[in-house]
Chains A and B, each alone.
Chain A
Amino acid sequence: MPVFKTPFNGYSVKFSPFYEHRLAVATSQNFGILGNGRLHVLDLSPSPSPQPISQLTSFDTADGVYDLAWSESHDSLLVAAVADGSVKLYDLALPPTSNPIRSLHEHSREVQSADYNPVRRDSFLTSSWDDTVKLWTTDRPASVRTFKEHAYCVYSAVWNPRHADVFASASGDCTLRVWDVREPGSTMIIAAHESEILSCDWNKYDDCSIATASVDKSIKVWDVRNFRVPVSVLNGHGYAVRKVKFSPHRRSLMVSCSYDMTVCLWDYMVEDALVGRYDHHTEFAVGVDMSVLVEGLLASTGWDELVYVWQHGTDPRAP
């Protein structure tokens, strides 16, 4: 299956919600510690060809790109979370010289995640190491609101896929918080792990179910109506779990990637929850995504500077 080599270390990969053959990759030089960044937009060729993945375009940044989000309202719009604290908007329809179309400087430290509202489609969230989450709309040159309650870096902020006003944030202060943009403070505080929480994601088929991934190597699934105990605890990763994502197609299926360099698939409703493990990366696997438009299509990236796209059940390294 297709492999793409990026010049910098991969940090995040996401499929386009508009085109099944398109995905974007956020990369940072020197493992994101120091140096430049680049945002790649890649196209998969529909039929077998010598070059299964081709680059549509790429954008350079002066600092590492940690995350990206495809716009849900416009097929060519991309949001990039940049390590210098800026949030940049790119329009693929414009030449690289006209990009970024906007650079928003409000976060005082590295921006770790970006997520576009899939319900109302006019806003997006960014979370940062300055402990805040910011809400932005595409028609405003400044953030609409800032959510500051976390006591440590916020590694991830994700919209609820069914409620336009609800989102969750995962932080290094070991809490998961659920927010409503109409409320002044968080509506729920879940002390989900004993270690830092690096990622969270909502179940697309159950708006009360949310998964958290932590440095303690575990993934936990929570029900926000009763968050005293987790619904499920998934162990199997050898090191910190960097990202977790619910399947857009199956209710109980999840994918995760970890510093143990593997990408794992989980079904949290069955006894043997670990249903797949891929060890194709030779460095930390830090970005993973599941295609919304093609069931079973996975993409992953890592510090080995490779982007893999493969169908679940096949070997990502197979030519």
Chain B
Amino acid sequence: MRVDVYHQLHQDSIQKNDKNLCVFCVLGRSRRRRRKRRERAFSCRFAEDSSMDSQPQPSGNTPPPKPWERAGGSTGPAPFKPPSGGSTTDVVEASGTAKPGEIVSTSDRNTAVNRNALSRPVPTRPWEQNYGTANSYGGYNSTMNYGSGYGSGTYGSGTYGSGTYGSYGGVGGGLYGGGLYGSNMYRGGYGGLQGSSGLYGGGMYNSGFGGPMGGYGMGMGGPYGDQDPNNPYGAPPSPPGFWISVLRVMQGVVNFFGRISILIDQNTQAFHLFMTALLQLFERSGLLYGELARFVLRILGVRTKPKKVRPPGPDGLPLPGPNNQNYIEGPKAAAPTGSWDNVWGNGAPN
């Protein structure tokens, strides 16, 4: 940020803060220091004018004394150097160890590992696990942040027109479909990744695409559903273990959506067309195979009975996913409340 921005921050802070104090300028609590600070008119680097008339608050910047401050000291001599006077910045700079704004890169971190005194093996970082194909998905690895990575990298950039929330819709649809929020989060919860409409896709953030995308998440949770990776009652429970399992599942989701995201980045309309075509293809082929099967059975002399109409899903909408065979094998007219067109979302426009 530029200096004038900080100056503005300083001004804003003084103006808007009812205590008439810039929060950036607050240094210590002792009266002496406060007076000293007033004398030098704050060390706030954002104050353009050194005669800024900010007055320190009598009580606003000093908390009540801590209970342990009234008690005695330690049980013996402490192995610490005696404290230095002055502000933290001064102390660190005087010691020559200051390195303002240092950003630690991955290579730096490896060096740090090498000079580590302990040679105990450390667990693999969840985000550094190699799943074979991980590097081919830029949306995931290039951002190195699966949290906001979906928002900014893969699904963001205004594709859904609703900023952050819309951007989570797509992934959320796949990841959280049914499973995580199911009745039993710990046991086999991730099996729920197979199909079902997404939580966010269902209109929570009005992301019309979420639902069908959740539907296409089917099968990805498959290999992990049985392993029950998030079971804290089994093997030694640990957060990295949990993260690893979560990320492993997410990797599957990302692997799939990473491919589609190429289209999203290009053009929303292209994505829409792609999905529509895909759905239509399934529908047509479903019809085709249904007819074919009936034809074959009829040749074989088997009479096919019309299938029972399945009840509609929540909100009266048809349920997408593999369980709803009615749509694959039956004719369109048998759909209880509508055609495939409505699957795009809960009332979201096509």
Contacts and interface: CB of A to CB of B under 8 A. Distances in A.
**Do the two chains bind?**
yes
Interface of A: 17-18, 30, 33-36, 62-64, 71-77, 83-85, 89, 91, 93-95, 98, 101-102, 106, 108-110, 117-123, 129-132, 135, 137-146, 148-153, 160-166, 172-175, 180-184, 187-189, 191, 195-196, 198, 204-209, 215-216, 224-225, 239-240, 248-249, 259, 292-293, 295
B180 A30 contact: yes
B92 interface: yes
A180 B115 CA distance: 18
A135 B88 contact: yes
B292 interface: no
- Residue from B97, B123, B176 with most neighbouring chain A CB atoms (10 Å): B97
Contacts of A77: 23, 26
B120 interface: yes
Interface string B238-254: 11100000100010000
B68 to A, nearest CB: 4
A35 B73 CA distance: 45
Nearest to A132: B104
Given A106-B103, A248-B68, A181 B88 contact: yes
Nearest to B108: A148
B307 interface: no
A45 B175 CA distance: 40
A139 B63 contact: no
B78 A163 contact: yes
A120 B123 contact: no
Contacts, number: 280
B130 interface: no
Interface residues of B, number: 93
Contacts of B250: 33-34
Contacts of A62: 148, 151, 164
Contacts of A225: 76-79
A167 B91 CA distance: 15
A290 B138 CA distance: 44
A295 B21 CA distance: 31
A183 B73 contact: no
B108 to A, nearest CB: 7
Contact of B116 (A35, A106, A151, A162): A151
6 A-B pairs with the lowest CB-CB distances in the bound complex, closest first: A142-B101, A182-B95, A123-B88, A204-B68, A17-B63, A215-B238
Nearest to B25: A139
Interface in B222-258: 232, 236-240, 246, 250
Contact of B78 (A102, A164, A184, A207): A207
A72 B65 CA distance: 11
A189 B117 contact: yes
Nearest to A224: B79
Given A152-B125, A172-B240, A204-B67, 11 more contacts: A34-B168, A122-B28, A138-B23, A140-B45, A142-B100, A148-B108, A153-B240, A162-B74, A164-B88, A174-B118, A292-B67
B270 interface: no
B343 interface: no
Contact of B84 (A149, A152, A182, A240): A182
A225 B145 CA distance: 40
A204 B180 contact: no
Contacts of A118: 66
Contact of A182 (B13, B87, B91, B150): B91
Nearest to A216: B236
Contact of A64 (B9, B71, B147, B151): B147
B64 A293 contact: yes
B9 A101 contact: yes
B232 A259 contact: yes
Contact of A137 (B88, B97, B246): B88
30 contacts: A17-B64, A18-B63, A33-B250, A35-B172, A64-B147, A73-B26, A75-B60, A83-B147, A94-B13, A109-B144, A118-B66, A121-B28, A130-B104, A135-B88, A142-B100, A145-B98, A151-B118, A164-B88, A181-B88, A182-B84, A182-B95, A182-B97, A188-B79, A191-B120, A204-B66, A205-B68, A206-B74, A207-B73, A224-B78, A240-B237
A84 B145 CA distance: 7
B99 interface: yes
Contact of B100 (A144, A161, A165, A259): A144
Contacts of A166: 80
B112 interface: yes
Contacts of A239: 232, 237
Interface string B11-22: 011001111010
B6 interface: yes
A18 B29 CA distance: 13
Given A34-B150, A120-B87, A182 B81 contact: yes
B78 to A, nearest CB: 5
A183 B97 contact: yes
B220 to A, nearest CB: 15
A184 B112 CA distance: 13
Interface string B184-214: 0000000000000000000000000000000
B92 A144 contact: yes
B80 A101 contact: no
A98 B16 CA distance: 9
Contact of A181 (B44, B91, B101, B125): B91
Contact of B122 (A121, A172, A183, A184): A172
A109 B145 contact: yes
Contacts of B120: 173-175, 191
B109 A131 contact: yes
B253 to A, nearest CB: 10
Given A122-B28, A145-B97, A30 B104 contact: no
A29 to B, nearest CB: 9
Contacts of A173: 116, 118, 120, 122
